[in-house]
Structure 1
Amino acid sequence: MASLACRAHALSKSGAIAAVLVGATSAAAGWAWAVLLIGWFVASSALTRVGAAAKHARTAATLPATSARTATQVVANGGVYAIAALAATLSGTAWCSVAALGALAAAAADTWATEIGLLVGRAPRSIIGGGPMEPGLSGGVTWPGTIGGAAGALAVAGAAVALQLATPAVLMAITGAGIVGGLGDSLLGATVQAKRRCARCARWTERATHDCGVATEHGRGWRWMTNDTVNLCATFIGATAAIFFLIP
């Protein structure tokens, strides 16, 4: 699967290696866990390709040119899920299982919200202040994107039930955890994620070089808090929320 994804330019070479490791960890937990991870990756990659040209045009001044997923991106989105799934199999504890599913639901919510919001949403608004933001800039939300994120979380929860990794009784808890994780991603993106600014255009961006050709400078947020770090934190939030929702 990693080799096919690499040939399709969905994964870089480093991303393919990371995908093998994350996938092998999931498969060690049980094939159902691996199938769920593959299903999430295929669906998310397909959604990313829908309207790719239009989405790139909207974010050309904000985001670096899209490319295949790197090892860091693979681990940031699937690492918590794989480790928690393996821990669930080895320990037999239910909270590890729901933590794994909450983490993957959060990753799905974040990806689906971003892709659907860029495709059909209007100008995003800041999740903390409500002011208008550049399309693609972390911390911005749209109603279509928010609904799409909820759909992504529900899709993971529903697939988990179908694969008998969870019972129907926890369907909404996993979905809710994914939504919380996705919103947590936006909140971190709006507050502490590193943002850059173009001195010539006076616009915020996440590009090292703005589309006008001028090198950008760090303007706010923690320098080490990259988008990948925020994604990793979001999966932790989703995992924690899933456990919290199911505490008696």
Structure 2
Amino acid sequence: MFAALCTLALAVPLGNPRVGAAIAAVAVLGALAVTDGPLFELLAYPSDYEAGRLYGIVTLVLAGATLGLIAVTTSMSVAVFVGTVLLVGYGNLAEQLAHRWTDRDVVHTAAFCVVATVAAVAGQSAARSIADGATLESLSPALPTMLFLGASGALLASLLRDILFANDDPVVMLTVGLLGWLLAELEPALALSGGEIVAALAVTVAFGYASYALETASIAGMLTGILLGLLTIVLGGYGWFAVLISFFAIGGLSSKYRYEEKAERGVAEDNNGARGSGNVLGNAAVALGAVLGYAASSATLLPGNPEPSLFLFAFAGSVATAMSDTLSSEIGSVFETPRLITTLEPVEPGTDGGVTWQGEIAGVAGAAVVAGISYGLFDAVTTVGAAIIVAAGVVGMTVDSLLGATLEGRVLGNQSVNFLATLSGALVCALLVLSFAVLG
């Protein structure tokens, strides 16, 4: 029934927006009229039982109607709207069927993502065929983009359902639809073939599952890493992905370094060192923004047409900061008593803003690793550029420690500190490169 309701989204390209609005109104009124009985039991969300109304279905239909309204009044395509709604509906169906087969959460997640991706591609294809009269042959050039949009949406939806908005499908639907709209606007930057998109998916899924199997990431952390990796490969390239994955791999393994000793000192990562979505996003959100900025700049979608290489350096600076901070914390925490960065007074291990000289050296080495990879992979990164990336990583690591000593725990949380530190590293890197370009 849930999937069938979502299939009604095809009414928009089949008829017109008025038909879709009429069907949505009937569905809302019908849901409000059902207060008990087998149909209520079939469609009720857990929170609906106390209210005695199918408010879950009502909000789902209203979310779909809102997304449809956006699609017919803005530049969002109807195909993205239909693909999004079918993605949520049939992904949910697959996940529920997987629950009957096994108790393994990773299998439930995989079932949702695979079927949701297929449903999204089918929905986009059907909408294009109905609205534009497109044939299978004329749809072929658009299939890589549709696959990319479907896979990205499926990964985001699964992530939101797993951690951020559990059982809140209306919010998931709206968020995924907006992501699809954004990525579709970057179509001029999507030059990969269908085989290359599949290869990108295979690579990112392999790395993501490896992080889960090695217990360096939770399911949510795995999904976040796969989504970030896919967007990075498609919108940036494999060189960008190599820089990003170096942080995930080295940073994840560093959390296992002398883990028992760190656990005894009370400074070990929770969940046996497995990083969740909050940790991944706190360290990589700025890098993702740089990738999107690079794609938008390459497609000449940004005002002023900024130089795409600036976003490359911002990306490298943010990843260098994340690597520096992670290695500084994970390696430095097992050595002698740390000192508060603002006063240099000895503090207890795990104190926010506490640093050790061993950790500082490890942080510089982490930034140097990112700079070395960037120097080897990108023609735009010269010797001076590599030095700037190292400097940006060290600056970002220092900002993280300063924020930890002054604001963390009172004004900011750990992930907010990570975000601001990586943002400072990205800005310093881009500004230094811009300054050298002007002076040179």
By the TM > 0.5 criterion, same fold? yes
1:95 and 1:36 map into 2 onto residues whose CA distance is 16
Contact 2:322–2:418 (Cα < 8 Å) also in 1: yes
2:242 and 2:366 map into 1 onto residues whose CA distance is 16
**Which residue is equivalent to 1:143?**
357
**Which residue is equivalent to 2:213?**
7
Q: Deviations over 1:185-241 (max 9, x none)?
A: 0000000001xxxxxxxxxxxxxxxxxxxxxxxxxx21xx11111111110010011
2:257 and 2:421 map into 1 onto residues whose CA distance is 24
Q: Which of 211, 225, 240 is matched with 1:33 structurally?
A: 240
Could you tell me how far 1:169 is from its partner in structure 2? 2.4
1:30 and 1:90 map into 2 onto residues whose CA distance is 14
2:420 and 2:259 map into 1 onto residues whose CA distance is 26
**Which residue is equivalent to 1:96?**
311
Could you tell me how far 1:65 is from its partner in structure 2? 5.9
Structure 2, gaps ≥5 residues long: 1-206, 299-307
1:24 and 1:64 map into 2 onto residues whose CA distance is 27
Could you tell me how far 1:88 is from its partner in structure 2? 2.1
Give 1 or 2 for the bigger CA radius of gyration.
Answer: 2
2:397 and 2:213 map into 1 onto residues whose CA distance is 29
Contact 1:106–1:178 (Cα < 8 Å) also in 2: yes
1:63 and 1:157 map into 2 onto residues whose CA distance is 26
Structure 1, gaps ≥5 residues long: 195-220
Contact 1:63–1:136 (Cα < 8 Å) also in 2: no
1:96 and 1:129 map into 2 onto residues whose CA distance is 35
Moved over 3 A (4+): 62-67
Q: Which of 378, 389, 410 is matched with 1:164 structurally?
A: 378
Q: Which of the pair is proportionally richer in helix?
A: 2
Q: Deviations over 1:106-125 (max 9, x none)?
A: 00010011112113x21011
Q: Which amino acid aligns with 1:74?
A: V
**Number of equivalences:** 218
**Which residue is equivalent to 1:242?**
429
Is 1:105 matched up with 2:285?
no
Could you tell me how far 1:82 is from its partner in structure 2? 2.4
Contact 1:25–1:83 (Cα < 8 Å) also in 2: no
Q: Which of 338, 347, 351 is matched with 1:124 structurally?
A: 338
2:238 and 2:401 map into 1 onto residues whose CA distance is 32
Q: Deviations over 1:49-88 (max 9, x none)?
A: 121111221226x975644111111111112112203422
1:2 and 1:32 map into 2 onto residues whose CA distance is 18
Q: Secondary structure at the match of 2:225?
A: helix
Contact 2:255–2:273 (Cα < 8 Å) also in 1: no
Could you tell me how far 1:168 is from its partner in structure 2? 2.2
**Which residue is equivalent to 1:43?**
250
Once superposed, what is the RMSD of the aligned Cα atoms?
1.7
Give runs of aligned pairs for residues 17-96 of structure 1, distance below 5 A.
17-28=223-234, 29-59=236-266, 66-92=272-298, 93-96=308-311
